[in-house]
């Protein structure tokens, strides 16, 4: 286990090929201060570079996943300062990771915490998790995807209700909306997230990366363009040894042995 000031990293899973990142500022409910976001960014860099790591998991220490951007840090800032300083522009790092990232939402995922979850590829939530975009209650609006990503999964009425009221919602509601894909008892959250990460990690890393890119393209483009992109990516898997291995293994009735080539 490696300890940065605000973030712990650990290689886990039976093959030690899962990069577990734990937000570790429990006294402030893992509020996403600048230092924490820098540590998180570094942790993502570390695991993205590490050739052994297949999948990343982000979770929180204590009763929160993350209770949002650090309000104490933001309180005194002026418009001129946030604009010229590109305030919180390094928040994009998680959404730019080439490897799959799973959010294991253990508690409060509010404001920037909910947005951080939505930057991940897959989210599992504990039954005790609470979600919301409460920025409106403190005189601002979501700044890292809250107004853009919720609407894509839950539609306009839900997105407006969440962003304009600041109301919190439960893990069961988040699952119903499609914001998280599974709700689990608290003690099962991490084991089940690791199990999923391991399942993904058994596949070819190159092909997993390509598949993630294809799914993400759906956010950015029209259906026709997306389908063309997908087909090209599909064609390109035929240039890999892993595609050959996968299909041969099926025909030879044995498990595949992917080499990430």
The residues annotated as belonging to the active site are 69, 112, 115, 135
Q: Does 162 bind ligand CO8 (CB under 6 A)?
A: no
Instruction: Find the shortest distance in angstroms from Cβ 261 to ligand CO8.
Output: 38
Rounded Cα gap, residues 94 and 57, in angstroms: 11
Rounded Cα gap, residues 21 and 101, in angstroms: 10
Contacting residues for 226 by C-beta, under 8 A, at least 6 apart: 217, 218
Q: Does 117 bind ligand CO8 (CB under 6 A)?
A: no
Instruction: Find the shortest distance in angstroms from Cβ 189 to ligand CO8.
Output: 18
Beta strands, E only, 81-128? 101-105, 108-110, 122-126
Q: Does 143 bind ligand CO8 (CB under 6 A)?
A: yes
Q: For ligand CO8, which stretch binds (CB under 6 A), given 4-12, 41-49, 61-69, 177-185?
A: 61-69
Report the residue number whose CB is nearest to ligand CO8: 111
Q: Does 242 bind ligand CO8 (CB under 6 A)?
A: no
Q: Does 19 bind ligand CO8 (CB under 6 A)?
A: no
Quick one: which H or E segment has residue 26? none
Q: Does 134 bind ligand CO8 (CB under 6 A)?
A: yes
Q: Sheet harboring 182-184: ordered strands across?
A: 2-3, 7-12, 18-23, 55-60, 101-105, 122-126, 182-184
Q: Does 69 bind ligand CO8 (CB under 6 A)?
A: yes
Rounded Cα gap, residues 91 and 24, in angstroms: 17
Q: Does 70 bind ligand CO8 (CB under 6 A)?
A: yes
Residue environment code for 105-128, b if the CB has 16+ CB neighbours within 10 A, otherwise e = bbbbbbbbbbbbbbbbbbbbbbeb
Rounded Cα gap, residues 8 and 30, in angstroms: 12
Rounded Cα gap, residues 66 and 255, in angstroms: 39
Q: Does 60 bind ligand CO8 (CB under 6 A)?
A: no
Instruction: Find the shortest distance in angstroms from Cβ 255 to ligand CO8.
Output: 43
Rounded Cα gap, residues 19 and 197, in angstroms: 9
Phi, psi of 258 (to 5 degrees): -75, 140
Q: Does 110 bind ligand CO8 (CB under 6 A)?
A: yes
Q: Is 71:117 a contact under the CB 8 Å cutoff? A: no
Q: Which is nearer to ligand CO8, 62 or 209 (CB)?
A: 62
Q: Does 100 bind ligand CO8 (CB under 6 A)?
A: no
Among 111, 116, 190, 240, binds ligand CO8 (CB under 6 A): 111
Q: Does 207 bind ligand CO8 (CB under 6 A)?
A: no
Among 10, 42, 48, 71, binds ligand CO8 (CB under 6 A): 71
Q: Which is nearer to ligand CO8, 96 or 202 (CB)?
A: 96
Q: What does the binding site for ligand CO8 look like in residue numbers (CB under 6 A)?
A: 28-29, 31, 67-72, 88, 91, 108, 110-112, 134-135, 138, 142-144
């Amino acid at each position: 286990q490696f300890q940065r000031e605000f973030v712990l990293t650990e290689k886990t899973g039976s093959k030690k090929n899962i990069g577990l990142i734990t937000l570790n500022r429990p006294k402030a409910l893992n509020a996403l201060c600048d230092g924490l976001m820098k540590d998180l960014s570094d942790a993502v860099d570390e695991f993205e570079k590490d050739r052994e790591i297949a999948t990343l998991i982000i979770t929180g220490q204590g009763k929160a996943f993350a209770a949002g951007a650090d309000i104490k840090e933001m309180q005194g800032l002026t418009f001129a300062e946030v604009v010229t300083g590109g305030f919180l522009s390094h928040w994009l790092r998680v959404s730019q990771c080439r490897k799959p990232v799973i959010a294991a939402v253990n508690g409060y995922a509010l404001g920037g915490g909910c947005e951080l979850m939505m930057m991940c590829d897959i989210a599992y939530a504990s039954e005790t998790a609470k979600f919301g975009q409460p920025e409106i209650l403190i005189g601002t609006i979501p700044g890292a995807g809250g107004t853009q990503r919720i609407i894509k999964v839950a539609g306009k009425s839900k997105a407006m209700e969440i962003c304009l009221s600041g109301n919190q919602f439960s893990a069961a509601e988040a699952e119903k909306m499609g914001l998280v894909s599974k709700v689990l008892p608290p003690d099962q959250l991490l084991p089940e997230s690791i199990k999923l990460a391991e399942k993904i990690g058994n596949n070819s890393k190159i092909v997993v990366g390509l598949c993630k890119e294809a799914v993400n393209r759906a956010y950015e483009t029209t259906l026709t363009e997306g389908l063309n992109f997908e087909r090209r990516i599909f064609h390109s898997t035929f240039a890999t040894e892993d595609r050959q291995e996968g299909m041969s293994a099926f025909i030879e009735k044995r498990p595949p042995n992917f080499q990430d080539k």
